């Protein structure tokens, strides 16, 4: 069964044979160590260090997991950083372009609009970037293309802009819901209803001649001197203000959007003021008011995600944490982004407003007014998110990952070394052991053979 049957006379011979077998086995084991490079084939053979080996393997595996995460996220982040940089470039180019004098409206398609349309298409493509079908600016809904197509957005927005202009009584040649009338020595502007312009205030440079009273009444009490100025401040739907300033001009001047003619009769002067105000308001209505309407329409449109965005609807403030990457035992960096974040949305709004408005009427004032708004909106104030902020956050994540990667590489190398020390059989040592074993085995064979001849039997 388990043990060899015992014969007292054969003990010595058996012991010798067993010794040979044992030495042989040692040789075979050393040969295996040399071939596989491993000290042991079993955990038993690793000795008391097996616990360390097991833990090290666990740690190495965890590190590999982190490294894989980093590698995966790294590629994504690079692409996202590239995209945000490009979007940032578009934003600054658009802003710079808008600050320059406009190229004018010829043939109904200003150069700025053509550029904006091209940039809008590019921005949508950038925000719809994907890696292996994973959309990068879609938050947690990797499988959803975040931004709707250019045609859909512009197609949806154009009628909204037209409707907003009409509602604000801005298009074409409207008065922005204001009406101007003169009665006796007084010229009064009346706000006819919601939308359009609002009346903010009036001033007069020479109250001795013309008094200005809220909301918007100018009363001529004495003939003004040439150069006296009155002004009317108007509010626009997008929150901006327009100031109309009229200068008194001596007869025989002409009433225009910038001046009124002084008459000896205060009542006539008041009528002149009313006429000039009407002209000025009409000009502002088709210019500033119409562009403000377009901008407001675009802002309203983009304020509702469902209109144009199909990605994750988690609060955009948490966009980074929609794709947390665990790059170390406790270190988590946010690598997510959403196209509906404020920075991206502002850019899209400006580009879409420029793209969807129509300049077929050749109104250059309106173009200038719109460009001015675009430039203003692309100059973010305090506490407003910029595209570059997103870029900085993603860049920080990228930097943290690069640090972690280096750290992991160093740690892994160290752990691998330690593990090698436990599990690996150094070939020099094994070879030396093999050599020693060979010598021992040869000596044993020779001695045994020598001793076996030394029997009395051979000498009788």
Task: Please give the residue ranges that form the binding site for other proteins (CB under 8 A).
Answer: 1-3, 5-13, 15, 38, 40-48, 50-51, 53-55, 57-58, 61-62, 64-66, 68-69, 72-73, 132, 134, 138-143, 312-313, 322-326, 423, 455-457, 460
**Closer to other proteins at the Cβ: 60 or 375?**
60
Residue 81 CB, nearest approach to other proteins (Å): 17
Q: Which two tokens stand for residue 21?
A: 């077998």
Degrees (nearest 5) of the Cα angle 162, 166, 170? 105
Residue 36 CB, nearest approach to other proteins (Å): 9
Asked if 226 and 250 count as a contact pair (C-beta separation under 8 A), the reply is: yes
Degrees (nearest 5) of the Cα angle 33, 37, 40? 55
Asked if 227 and 255 count as a contact pair (C-beta separation under 8 A), the reply is: no
Q: Coil, strand, or helix at residue 438? A: helix
What does DSSP say about strands 186-191 and 178-183: parallel, antiparallel, or unpaired? Answer: antiparallel
Residue 147 CB, nearest approach to other proteins (Å): 16
Residue 26 CB, nearest approach to other proteins (Å): 13
Residue 110 CB, nearest approach to other proteins (Å): 41
Residue spans of beta strands (DSSP E) within 205-343: 210-213, 217-220, 229-235, 241-249, 259-261, 324-326, 332-334
**Closer to other proteins at the Cβ: 38 or 163?**
38
Distance CA 424, CA 432 (A): 16
**Closer to other proteins at the Cβ: 382 or 449?**
449
**Closer to other proteins at the Cβ: 24 or 38?**
38
Distance CA 95, CA 111 (A): 14
**Closer to other proteins at the Cβ: 38 or 254?**
38
**Closer to other proteins at the Cβ: 382 or 459?**
459
**Long-range CB contacts (< 8 A, 24+ apart) of 269-273?**
269/185, 269/220, 269/223, 269/224, 270/182, 270/183, 270/184, 270/185, 270/186, 270/187, 270/218, 270/219, 270/220, 271/182, 271/187, 273/182, 273/187, 273/210, 273/218, 273/220, 273/230, 273/246
DSSP code at position 206: -
Distance CA 360, CA 351 (A): 18
**Closer to other proteins at the Cβ: 242 or 312?**
312
**Closer to other proteins at the Cβ: 16 or 86?**
16
Residue spans of beta strands (DSSP E) within 120-169: 130-131, 134-135
Residue 201 CB, nearest approach to other proteins (Å): 48
């Amino acid at each position: 069964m388990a043990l060899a049957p015992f014969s007292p006379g054969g003990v010595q011979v058996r012991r010798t044979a067993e010794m040979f077998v044992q030495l042989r086995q040692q040789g075979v084991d050393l040969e295996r160590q040399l071939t596989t490079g491993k000290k042991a084939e079993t955990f038993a053979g690793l000795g008391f260090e097996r616990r360390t080996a097991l833990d090290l393997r666990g740690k190495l595996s965890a590190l590999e997991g982190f490294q894989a995460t980093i590698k995966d996220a790294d590629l994504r982040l690079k692409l996202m950083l590239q995209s945000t940089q490009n979007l940032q470039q578009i934003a600054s180019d658009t802003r710079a372009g808008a600050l320059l004098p406009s190229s004018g409206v010829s043939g109904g398609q200003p150069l700025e609009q053509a550029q904006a349309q091209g940039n809008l298409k590019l921005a949508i493509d950038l925000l719809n970037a994907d890696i292996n079908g994973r959309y990068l600016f879609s938050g947690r809904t990797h499988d959803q293309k975040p931004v709707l197509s250019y045609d859909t957005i512009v197609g949806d927005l154009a009628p909204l802009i037209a409707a907003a202009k009409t509602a604000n009584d801005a298009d074409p040649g409207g008065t922005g819901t204001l009406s101007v009338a003169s009665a006796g020595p007084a010229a009064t502007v009346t706000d006819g209803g919601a939308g359009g312009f609002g009346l903010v205030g009036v001033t007069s440079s020479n109250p001795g001649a013309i008094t200005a009273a809220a909301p918007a009444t100018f009363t001529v009490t004495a003939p003004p001197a040439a150069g006296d100025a009155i002004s009317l401040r108007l509010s626009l739907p997008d929150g901006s203000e327009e100031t109309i300033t009229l200068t008194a001009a001596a007869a025989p001047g002409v009433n225009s959007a910038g001046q009124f003619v002084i008459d000896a009769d205060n009542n006539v002067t008041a009528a002149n003021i009313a006429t000039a105000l009407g002209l000025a308001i009409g000009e502002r209505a088709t210019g500033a008011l119409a562009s403000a309407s377009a901008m407001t329409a675009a802002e309203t449109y983009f304020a509702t995600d469902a209109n144009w965005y199909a990605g994750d609807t988690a609060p955009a403030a948490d966009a980074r944490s929609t794709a947390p990457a665990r790059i170390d035992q406790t270190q988590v960096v946010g690598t997510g982004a959403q196209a509906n974040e404020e920075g991206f949305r502002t850019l899209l709004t400006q580009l879409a407003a420029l793209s969807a408005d129509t300049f077929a009427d050749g109104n250059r004032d309106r173009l200038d007014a719109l460009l001015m708004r675009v430039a203003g909106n692309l100059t973010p104030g305090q506490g407003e998110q910029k595209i570059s902020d997103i870029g900085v956050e993603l860049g920080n994540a990228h930097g943290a990952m690069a640090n972690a990667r280096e750290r992991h590489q160093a740690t892994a190398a160290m752990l691998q070394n330690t593990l090698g020390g436990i599990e690996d059989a150094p070939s020099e040592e094994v070879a030396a052991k093999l050599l020693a074993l060979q010598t021992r085995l040869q000596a044993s064979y020779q001695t045994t053979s020598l001793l076996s001849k030394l029997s009395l039997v051979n000498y009788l």
